[in-house]
Amino acid sequence: MMSELALQDLHTSLRGQLFLPDQPGYEENRKVFNALIDRHPAMIVQCAGVADVITAVKFARAHNVEVAVRSTGHNVAGISVCDGGMVIDLSVMKGIHIDPEARTVRVEPGVTWAELNHELQVFGLAATGGYVGTTGVAGLTLGGGLGWMVRKHGCALDNLLSADVVLADGQFLSASETANSDLFWGIRGGGGNFGVVTSFQFQAHSAGTVLAGLALHPLSKAGEAMRFWRDFETTAPEEASNGAIMFTAPPGLPLPEPLHREPIVGIGGVWVGPLDVGERALRPLREFGPPAADTYQRMPYSTAQTMADFLWTRGSYNYWKSNFMKSLSDQAIDTILGFVATVPSPRTVVVLEHDGDSAWSRVADDATAFGHRNWPYNIVVTSAWTDAGESDANIRWTREFWEAMRPFLAEAVYVNYLGDVDEESVRAAYGPKYRRLTALKDKYDPTNFFHMNQNIKPTRAVSDAGAA
């Protein structure tokens, strides 16, 4: 039991807030994106800045308190909140500083991609982030960062120039290609294993107005469209980062009637480059079928960043499965569409992301801890529902879908989409890089202080377990 005096001391040494159970703000602040995660930390330290992060880390260490680190709480596996320990909450650290000349931006960890790209847009710039605006810059970048400019500029961590990190002993340091470069390698893919990142410096890119949208097909006509898309993608320019999104239209969405009768397959994404070239290049994709609707428009990149946000709402129950695919065969397409036809919840979205040969795949495999750049397609089944009583049916459907997909999956998974984080899946995510990450963990966090994450176990933790 933590003494009241110790907690009082912690409280007075913070610039931010301390939320304890039964106090105002606690309930609201213990929740994360996924309502299926219902944990009760003993304390939530809502940090106002770096000093609070250092204070929280040193306090947890001194009092032997388990720690979870949370930026915006989007991780669906729930690793950013613990039962009974301390949540280091970074969600109100929202500083954004842009250098328009150098086209760089420094961001604090509570910032979302929508906020960042809103600020960059005024300078005609954009940062490579995720496919939606609500997710946090922090967790998404530390695990990889797949989004609407992945084919043109790589994933989010390929654009990371430096980061400030609070280590497990409370030490603060910067990491880049020239300072603590081993740590810089590890945080680009190794998630929150090595410390708390308190600021990220990114390379931004010219974006301005882009061409973005989806060609929408009713499910019953989507098979041919998906095959056409797959073949189109083999020669698609890198300016186009595309995917196929399968979802149910929410009532009231202004779409033609057939798209309200059955699930929708939306094919498309964002073109970042000369717009007239984009209009010509994307025409075949937008005309094939023809689709029941074509939502492509010219828009600011910051608008494109948020165009799919309505599909994933905070507070739904979520259960996800994801994996890179060996290839997108006809059989795989038919299997996916067959399961979409029986989807139990209108909130569920299935996404096929295409990264392919592009700026993303040209980054050397050993340049960062993130890997699997050789697989062109990634599938994400984001099952979501609103009534707790529907959990069993939705989880069952997701698992059956996943069993049927197994023949088409590569031995490669993206850590940030893991719905269940266990040792086997983390090892599968890092593959041969796991060994180098272990050596780094031994150096920067040998006691596994940061273990509520996609955990890389230090050697000591493994041998302790072996001895037990």
Ligand X SMILES: Cc1cc2nc3c(=O)[nH]c(=O)nc-3n(C[C@H](O)[C@H](O)[C@H](O)COP(=O)(O)OP(=O)(O)OC[C@H]3O[C@@H](n4cnc5c(N)ncnc54)[C@H](O)[C@@H]3O)c2cc1C
Binding mask 194-213 for ligand X (x = CB under 6 A): --xx----------------
Residues of this chain, 15-34, that bind ligand X according to CB under 6 A: 33
Q: Which is nearer to ligand X, 218 or 373 (CB)?
A: 373
Is 77 or 120 the residue whose CB approaches ligand X more closely?
Answer: 77
Site membership for ligand X, residue 368 (CB under 6 A) = no
Residue 10 binding ligand X, by CB under 6 A: no
Least distance from ligand X to the Cβ atom of residue 361, Å: 16
- Using CB under 6 A as the binding rule, whether residue 143 contacts ligand X is answered as yes
3 state DSSP class of 344 = coil
- Considering beta carbons, is residue 106 or 221 the nearer one to ligand X? 106
Contact 17, 29 (CB under 8 A): no
**8-state DSSP, 112:** B
Q: Where are the alpha helices (DSSP H) in 375-458?
A: 391-405, 423-430, 433-444
**Measuring CA to CA, which residue among 47, 76, 85, 75 is closest to residue 142?**
75
Q: Judging by DSSP bridges, how do beta strands 209-218 and 264-271 pair with one another? A: antiparallel
Q: How many residues bind ligand X (CB under 6 A)?
A: 37
Closer Cβ to ligand X, 65 or 289, answer by number: 65
Of the candidate residues 16, 41, 85, 139, the single one contacting ligand X (CB under 6 A): 139
CB of 374 to ligand X, least distance (A): 18
| CB nearer to ligand X: pick between 186 and 291 | 186
Site string for ligand X, 90-129 (x = CB under 6 A): x------------------x--------------------
Does residue 170 bind ligand X (CB under 6 A)? no
DSSP H helices in 122-160? 137-143, 150-153
**Nearest to ligand X of 243, 289 (CB atom):** 243
Contact status, residue 168 vs residue 450, Cβ threshold 8 Å? yes
* HEC per residue, 87-152: EEECCCCCCEEEECCCCEEEECCCCEHHHHHHHHHCCCEECCCCCCCCCEHHHHHHHCCCCCCHHH
Nearest alpha-carbon partner for 416 in 320, 325, 350: 320
Please pick, from the candidates 29, 72, 303, 368, the single residue that binds ligand X as defined by CB under 6 A.
Answer: 72
71 vs 159, beta carbon nearer ligand X? 71
What the block records as the tokens of 212 is 């973005």
Q: What is the x/- site pattern for ligand X, positions 174-193, by CB under 6 A?
A: -----------------xx-
Report the C-alpha gap between 117 and 198 in whole angstroms: 19
Rule CB under 6 A: say whether 245 interacts with ligand X. no
Question: Which phi-psi region, left, alpha or beta, contains residue 29 (left: φ > 0; alpha: ψ -120 to 50)?
Answer: alpha
Residue selected from 14, 19, 52, 74 as contacting ligand X according to rule CB under 6 A: 74
Candidate ranges 69-77, 202-210, 244-252, 340-348; the one touching ligand X (CB under 6 A): 69-77
Q: Is 347 one of the binding residues for ligand X (CB under 6 A)? A: no
∠ CA 159-165-166 to the nearest 5 degrees? 165
Is position 376 an interface residue for ligand X (rule: CB under 6 A)? no
The encoded tokens of residue 431 equal 């593959």
Stretch that binds ligand X, among 132-140, 274-282, 286-294, 427-435 (CB under 6 A): 132-140
Closer of 289 and 437 to ligand X (Cβ): 437
- Spatial CA neighbour of 114 closest among 303, 351, 314: 303
- Residue 67 sits in the site that holds ligand X (CB under 6 A): no
The yes or no reply on residue 85 touching ligand X (CB under 6 A) is no
C-beta neighbour count of 443 within 10 angstroms: 13
Cis link prior to 376 (omega < 30° from 0)? no
Residue 455 touches ligand X, criterion: CB under 6 A? no
Number of neighbours of residue 386 by Cβ within 10 angstroms: 13
Q: According to CB under 6 A, which one of 55, 71, 302, 345 is a site residue for ligand X?
A: 71
Side chain identity, residue 9: D
- What are φ and ψ of residue 353, in 5° steps? -100, 135
DSSP 309: G
Q: Report DSSP state, residue 152.
A: H
Tell whether residue 270 is a contact of ligand X (CB under 6 A).
Answer: no
Tell the smallest beta-carbon distance from residue 43 to ligand X (Å): 16
CB 379 within 8 Å of CB 407: no
Q: Tell me which stretch binds ligand X (CB under 6 A): 5-13, 72-80, 222-230, 259-267.
A: 72-80
Other Cβ atoms closer than 10 A to 251 = 7
Quick check: 456 binds ligand X (CB under 6 A)? no
By C-beta, is 204 or 289 nearer to ligand X?
A: 204
- Which two three-digit tokens encode residue 5? 């005096």
Nearer to ligand X, 269 or 300 (CB): 269
Q: For residue 80, give both structure tokens.
A: 């950013």
Closer by beta carbon to ligand X, 126 or else 218: 126
DSSP string, 213-261: EEEEEEGGGHHHHHHHHHHHHTT--TTEEEEEEEE-PPTT----THHHH
Can residue 41 be called a binding residue for ligand X (CB under 6 A)?
no
CB of 157 or CB of 293, closer to ligand X: 157
Q: Which parts of this chain interact with ligand X (CB under 6 A)?
A: 33, 68-76, 79-80, 90, 109, 130-132, 135-136, 138-140, 142-147, 191-192, 196-197, 312, 416-417, 452-453
